[in-house]
Structure 1
Amino acid sequence: MKNNDISSLLEQLSERDLSILESLRTHRVLTTALIRRLHFPISGEPREATGNKTHATEMAAAVATIRVLARLESHRLIARLPRRIGGVRAGSKGITWQLAASGERLLRARHGDPARRRYVEPSPAFIAHTLAAADLAIRLYELARQHVIELLSVEAEPECWRTFLSAHGARAWLKPDLFAITAGGDFEHHWFIEADRANEHAPVIVRKALQYQQYAKSGTHQKEHGLFPTVLWVVPDVKRQATIRKALANEPRLRELGASGAFQVVTNADFEACISGGGLAAP
């Protein structure tokens, strides 16, 4: 795509079109249903900051969503992935989208970003995990629109990854699924969020918790922000919640950070209550 083609196409795109492309750039893959929740509000739902018009019903919003996505697809800005989330019965809501090469080039030109991202078909496991994290991010946006919280920042992968020096002086990486800063009243709350799908054994969770503890000991985040984030695992059900809580509590190397309350494990159903309460998860 040449520069003059990009300029011409940018003139044809609405603010909402660009917002959709930016959302796909941030979250990497999104379903039609998630895009609907982000950019096509229903009457009675708070509008997003761009002031998009509301739709009378969820059906009307869904129709408008697929119409806009089809238009962006016709311009080769976005591409649908072969597998639908939820199978054929999910219909258009289950279609999963990512930026196409032309969309990626357009956004690189818009941001002045020389780094080219390779776009290949992601694996089913990657899609499922990325969509789970995107759903949590969108729920944060929705809480902010409802004025339940103030949302100061949301970072998805890989933007939310952190590098630091380990105790041995080697460069190490921490790779949360999301980083967010929320506010309520006079307090800021920082969050590293893990979208758990109950497909990893407890020792894997413990190793990840130890990485968080190593990052906390480096003092990197505290030097910039004055506090260390709550590490929040969001799990499918209470059985998984009990499993992770037990694994973290039984690991002696986690006594320091675990005892401080920096580790929290909540079910999907309790996510909003935990965020709005500043991390006060139910025991």
Structure 2
Amino acid sequence: MVRPLSLPTARVERLRSRLSPRDLAVLASLDRVRLLSLNQIRRLAVTDGSPRARTRRAQLMMTRLTKLGVVVRFSRIIGGVRAGSSGYIYGLSDVGQAVLNTDGPLGGRRRRVWESKPYFQDHMLAVAELYVQLVERHREGTTELLAYDAEPANWRHFSGAGGELVQIKPDAYVRIGRAAMEYSAFIEVDLSTETLPTIQKKSQRYIDYWRSGMEQQWRGVFPKVLWLVETERRRDRIASVIGKLALDGQTLFDVGLLNDGPQILSGSNQGAAA
């Protein structure tokens, strides 16, 4: 059963006082991307020491945060039983939301975390991986991560041809700085769970939004729509779908492999503003 959260202010303040800046940064990352694996948390939050030492410190940190009740450790283990605690997945609890003073989904009441289906977790972790890689490149100085908005903060609304309200719901909205340029993109992570007609419908919705001019008026530029996929075969199939769209709309899209996402995002073919 999903129940709204009600926590005494004094308890929230006591919990907050027991958290380090690094703890709070982990909670903020979970609030942003919803789920993170231990490996992803280690790469975001524990950046010094040998890989083995960093993993151990991340394990200890997340065990402590789980016991405090500010995060939830899911029963599923990435990589199977042999992965052990290094394969755990974590999400932000209702208590963690209260500590961060954030609202629940869509600005609603904070809610208790419940288990989601594995394919949905895989999708969220794939989106989170892109975020982690962009943070790593930001630290290295390769590119500057100017913005990363996940759902629902990145949703857009516009009026359809009949005056109806239409939504687009990217997995992420990203802005990257490189030299004197900014590159922006709406991200769609595809794990081959959507049918090609659904891909076509989503893509057409982006074209309709582009034609509305709302994003250009707000941001000064329309971002690229970047489909990121797991295999070259899937990339070719989605590229074929995009090739059937109106010619003027096809230039809005790029399709690439998930592992190439950060490189594509910082390329010269993205939506750019000087």
What's the secondary structure of 2:79's corresponding residue? coil
Q: What is the CA-CA distance between 1:114 and the residue it aligns to?
A: 7.7
Question: Quick check: 1:227 aligned with 2:233?
Answer: no
Q: Structure 1, residues 138-180: CA drift from partner, whole Å, max 9, x if none?
A: 1111121111111110001111111111122111110000101
Aligned twin of 1:3: 9
Shift >3 Å, 4+ stretches: none
Contact kept in structure 1, 2:145 and 2:177, CA below 8 Å: yes
- Aligned ranges for residues 161-176 of structure 1 at < 5 Å? 161-176=155-170
1:84 alignment partner in structure 2: 77
Report the residue type matching 1:241 in the other structure: R
Q: How does 1:1-283 map to 2 (within 5 A)?
A: 1-41=7-47, 54-55=48-49, 57-108=50-101, 115-118=108-111, 119-251=113-245, 254-258=246-250, 261-279=251-269
Q: C-alpha separation between the residues in 2 aligned to 1:109 and 1:141?
A: 22
- AA aligned opposite 2:67: S
1:226-259 deviations in Å (ceiling 9; x for gaps): 11100001111211111111111023xx32210x
Alignment RMSD: 1.9
Take 2:43 and 2:189, find their aligned partners in 1: how far apart are those partners?
19
Give aligned pairs, total: 262
Q: 1:241 to 1:257 in 2, by over 3 A?
A: same
Look up the SS of the partner of 1:264 in the other structure: strand
CA distance in 2, matches of 1:101, 1:157: 18
Amino acid at match of 2:145: L
CA distance in structure 1 between the partners assigned to 2:119 and 2:152 by the alignment: 17
Going from structure 1 to structure 2, the CA distance change for 1:257 and 1:114 (only over 3 Å counts) comes to closer
2:255 aligned counterpart, secondary structure = strand
Alpha-carbon shift at residue 272 of structure 1 (Å): 2.8
Per-residue deviation, 1:273: 2.3
Q: 1:167 to 1:109 in 2, by over 3 A?
A: closer
Residues 269 and 126 of structure 1, relative CA distance in 2, 3 Å threshold: closer
- Structure 2: any 5+ residue segments left out of the alignment? 1-6
Which structure has more relative contact order (CA 8 Å, sep 6+)? It is: 2
Cα 1:278–1:222 shift into 2, 3 Å: same
Cα displacement (A) at 1:215: 1.0
2:12 alignment partner AA:
I
Q: One-letter code of the match for 2:79?
A: G
Q: Is the 8 A contact 1:148 1:276 kept in 2?
A: no
Partner Cα separation in structure 2 for residue 134 and residue 268 of structure 1: 11
Alignment correspondent of 2:3: none
Q: Which amino acid aligns with 1:128?
A: D
Amino acid at match of 2:192: A
Structure 1: gaps of 5 or more residues: 42-53
Give a deviation string over 1:175-218, Cα, whole Å, max 9, x none: 00010111212211111011111222221111110011111111
Give TM-score, length-normalised by structure 1.
0.87
1:75-95 deviations in whole A, cap 9, x for unaligned?
111111111122212222221
Q: Greater shift after overlay, 67-76 or 86-95?
A: 86-95
Residues 278 and 151 of structure 1, relative CA distance in 2, 3 Å threshold: farther
DSSP 3-state at the match of 1:159: coil
